[in-house]
Structure 1
Amino acid sequence: EWKKPRHKEPDFKEPESCLNDLKNLLGSLNICSKEYIVRPYDHEVKGATVVKPFTGIKNDGPSDASVIAPKIGSYQGLAVGHGICPRYSDIDAYHMSACAFDEMVRNIVATGAKVPDKNNPVMWSVNDNFCCPDSIYDENNNPSGKLKFAKIVRANKALYDYSTLYKIPLTSGKDSMKNDFTYTDENGKKIKISIPLTILYSGVCKIKDIRKCVTIDAKSPGDLVYILGRTKKELGASEYFHQKGFVGNNVPKVDGKTALNLYKAIGNAMDKNLIESCHDCSDGGLGVSLAETAFSGGYGVYVDLSKIPKDNVYRSDYLLFSESQSRFITTVRPENKEKFEETLRGNVFGMIGIIQKDPVFTIKKLDGKTEQINIQKLKTAWQKPLRFDLPLEKVR
């Protein structure tokens, strides 16, 4: 029994400082660096990891996907990436599933893979990992069971719709169907906590030539900054609204046909070596992606928000933190500007700024005012929450 929920619409004013909110977002647990969790695990096999989980000038920036070259001496490789958007289930599990699938695809595309095409078949394989609350209806113990089951149906509908549209097969899967916790509170009342319906998509794609792989970090001062894709007022269940204490209702939605055309164009641009860096926009929107691109490369960035292709977005904070899908931040050498734009013709994109030598993150807001912050402050905010490298006595 599916009923779309109706949440309170956010009613807060646009903040004086967008970059203070950006710093806070970078420190949220869904966005912050997971380096101190990842590092203890082996991500090198025979020295064949081409793109590691962390990248950039200090090898501590977040890669969109990893790439390995399993056959020594061959330029062929495998890209591995993931997509997960659990908050979106608070509004609609269909779009949670669709957005997670698209995130998995674009993470891999951003690193150098191509989407399947009738003229260019590409090997993809995807695993879907369902994490669900108990969906067996019980009048007393699980009265919302029918709604939970309806969410599973909607999530599977999106799984089918987008895997068939993208022509990317799901060859394996896993499910965990009883993710609930029950306890008795101090008044003797029985309380049940259920996780939101969540799907983690993990994809693998064959890379024809690992030498053409691209990482997220800004490479050189003077490089032009582009956003690929259109930004909409899609902040429902976003990290930004969560930070402000709201859910909202306008959950991000995937325009699959438009996304596919863009992904093919990105693949063509990478074939021509026209893209210096590429980073998908996901949790926290393009603000987070821009920050990660800048501090991973050790350079500053200047961005004019008025240059961003958009639909009905009139606030600078909404432009920065909207989580509209199928978008990328790319950097391009000035001498490749015309070739790059020609290759992207027919898709939505905009040149919005430039990479700068000074390590300062600067935005020109829609009202014409500028705001800036040192990239090290952003990086520190991103790295700090899950740092476990302090001596034990300092932790105590």
Structure 2
Amino acid sequence: VSKNNLKKLLKVFESEDVEATVIGKFTNDKILRLFYYDKKVCELGMDFLHEGIPLYKKKAVVLKPKLKEPRIKPGKDLTPTLKKVLSDYNVASKEWVIRQYDHEVQGGSVLKPLVGVNNDGPSDASVVRPILSSNKGLIVSCGINPRYGEISAYWMAATCIDEALRQIICVGGSIKRTAILDNFCWGNPDNPDRLGSLVSSAYACYDFSKYFGVPFISGKDSLNNEYRVDGKSISIPGTLLISAISVMDDVTKVISMDFKKPGNLIYIVGETKNELGGSIYYKTKNSLGVDVPRVDKNKAKNILEKLSSATDRSLVRSMHDCSEGGMAVALSEMCFAGGLGADIFLAEAPYKTKNEKRNDYVLFSESNSRFVVEVERKNKEKFESILKGLPFGMIGCVSNTDILTVFGLDAKFCVKADINQLKESWQAPLNW
């Protein structure tokens, strides 16, 4: 802090009853001096302080797990499978936990953790207005998926960044005003395989923060999470949490994820691939798979920026990202959060694969950079013109019923479910 601004800064701290004290000043002689009252107790050259201790040399090995894609027989009616996916602990409602905490502190909450007609649908992110006299807001979101790390720590980290940024976009934000933070939870880095996966994930953090143009402003790590049971060492799965924070100029443009009005159009934005490695769908089949979702540097950033442009022009009524459980879960959550049904046609979704095309793969794939978007019919042409050149499809419309109906790639229904039953499946596991 310059001397010219010191008094102003101290007044800010004083107004908040925070003690602040000047403890030193910068010099140009590259020497650190510490004093206890008038007595000098330390004098160190900065070169020694930063370079005096030799760097550690550790061995890191990136292991390729011996995995393969499972052979799963596709079912014609995927409704029971959808309910099972919704009831997985990683997807299920966390309302019981959320309600233990106060998310109304100081009255600045704009978009809360739970939204929709009954305030029990899962919000993509939270938005708060720190200064009540201003319409500026802060968006906070996160991305995490340790199951992907069992296949590839690199793509796990890339996915976490993509997910955190998707959720910023979903509520009406922009990645141009976004910063991110990391939280690494890992095993013992003295073990080459643990360090290998840690380094791999760190490389992804570097690559994709640069790609998206979002800086890391802070972070933390919690390493050496290993335990011995019956003489056997057990390590936690390498886990990365990415948090994102963004500035929103006008909180009146905030978007929630619940469907708003019967007759509105439903789009899927982004390309679906047969990327089910580490997915909840495979988990329900007691499988892991190998084709983990990746982030396409040719499209991901452009998709996020174009959708941000659409929300800034008030062309979007609701939006929800496709993450755990894929498109099927996103659609289900938007339906029961809004108390409305939907008619969906999978054949209209952008779907790219060299392998077999299947309804279950389209519904439950967890490919990155994808969104389900609700748009009013009057805004159809404007919305589509913004997305020109990107993968998107108008896959259906919101209905004034309690039924989610999904017609498969062959135009025959593959899901027909009462949204109240879907909601029950989603709420039951943690409804303590």
TM-score, length-normalised on structure 1?
0.91
Residue correspondence of structure 1 range 163-174 to structure 2 within 5 A: 163-174=209-220
| SS at 2:268 equivalent | strand
1:209 aligns with 2:250: yes
* Greater displacement, 88-97 / 43-52: 43-52
The partner residue of 1:129 within 165, 183, 191 is 183
| SS at 1:385 equivalent | helix
How far apart are residue 344 of structure 1 and its match?
1.4
Q: Once superposed, which parts of structure 1, at least 4 consecutive aligned residues long, lie more than 4 Å away?
A: none
| SS at 1:79 equivalent | strand
How far apart are residue 257 of structure 1 and its match?
4.1
The residue that corresponds to 2:193 in the other structure is 147
Counterpart contact for 1:8–1:246, Cα < 8 Å: no
1:33 aligns with 2:96: no
Aligned partner of 2:430: which letter? Answer: L
* Superimposed CA distance per residue, residues 8-35 of structure 1 (whole angstroms, 9 cap, x where no aligned partner): 3201210232121111011001000001
- Indicate the structure (1 or 2) with the bigger Cα radius of gyration: 2
| SS at 1:88 equivalent | helix
* Superimposed CA distance per residue, residues 62-81 of structure 1 (whole angstroms, 9 cap, x where no aligned partner): 00000001111211100000
The residue that corresponds to 1:394 in the other structure is none
The residue that corresponds to 1:12 in the other structure is 72
| SS at 2:430 equivalent | coil
The partner residue of 2:416 within 372, 375, 394 is 372
1:280 aligns with 2:321: yes
How far apart are residue 230 of structure 1 and its match?
0.3
- Distance, in Å, in 1 between the alignment partners of 2:296 and 2:182 is 21
Counterpart contact for 2:168–2:175, Cα < 8 Å: no
- Distance, in Å, in 2 between the alignment partners of 1:193 and 1:359 is 47
- Distance, in Å, in 2 between the alignment partners of 1:379 and 1:53 is 17
* Greater displacement, 52-61 / 335-344: 335-344
Aligned partner of 1:216: which letter? Answer: M
Counterpart contact for 1:130–1:177, Cα < 8 Å: yes
Aligned partner of 1:372: which letter? Answer: K
- Distance, in Å, in 1 between the alignment partners of 2:405 and 2:187 is 43
The residue that corresponds to 1:53 in the other structure is 113
The residue that corresponds to 1:157 in the other structure is 203
* Superimposed CA distance per residue, residues 78-119 of structure 1 (whole angstroms, 9 cap, x where no aligned partner): 000000010011111000000001100111111111122xxx
- Distance, in Å, in 2 between the alignment partners of 1:222 and 1:209 is 28
* Superimposed CA distance per residue, residues 145-194 of structure 1 (whole angstroms, 9 cap, x where no aligned partner): 2111100010000000011111111111111112223211xxxxx23322
The partner residue of 2:240 within 182, 194, 199 is 199
* Superimposed CA distance per residue, residues 209-251 of structure 1 (whole angstroms, 9 cap, x where no aligned partner): 1111111000000010000000001001111111101111111
The residue that corresponds to 2:30 in the other structure is none
- Compute the RMSD of aligned alpha carbons: 1.0
The partner residue of 1:218 within 254, 259, 262 is 259
Counterpart contact for 2:69–2:291, Cα < 8 Å: no
* Greater displacement, 47-56 / 360-369: 360-369
- Distance, in Å, in 2 between the alignment partners of 1:82 and 1:20 is 29
Residue correspondence of structure 1 range 179-328 to structure 2 within 5 A: 179-184=225-230, 190-312=231-353, 314-328=357-371
Counterpart contact for 2:181–2:219, Cα < 8 Å: yes
1:21 aligns with 2:67: no
| SS at 2:342 equivalent | strand
The residue that corresponds to 1:346 in the other structure is 389
- Distance, in Å, in 1 between the alignment partners of 2:163 and 2:360 is 22
Structure 1 residue runs without a partner (length 5+): 117-121, 137-144, 185-189, 389-396
Aligned partner of 1:277: which letter? Answer: S
Q: Identity of counterpart residues, as a percentage?
A: 42
TM-score, length-normalised on structure 2?
0.84
> Aligned residues, how many?
369
Counterpart contact for 1:104–1:202, Cα < 8 Å: yes
Aligned partner of 1:315: which letter? Answer: R
Counterpart contact for 1:112–1:212, Cα < 8 Å: yes
Aligned partner of 2:187: which letter? Answer: P
Q: Which has the higher contact order (CA 8 A, sep 6+)?
A: 1
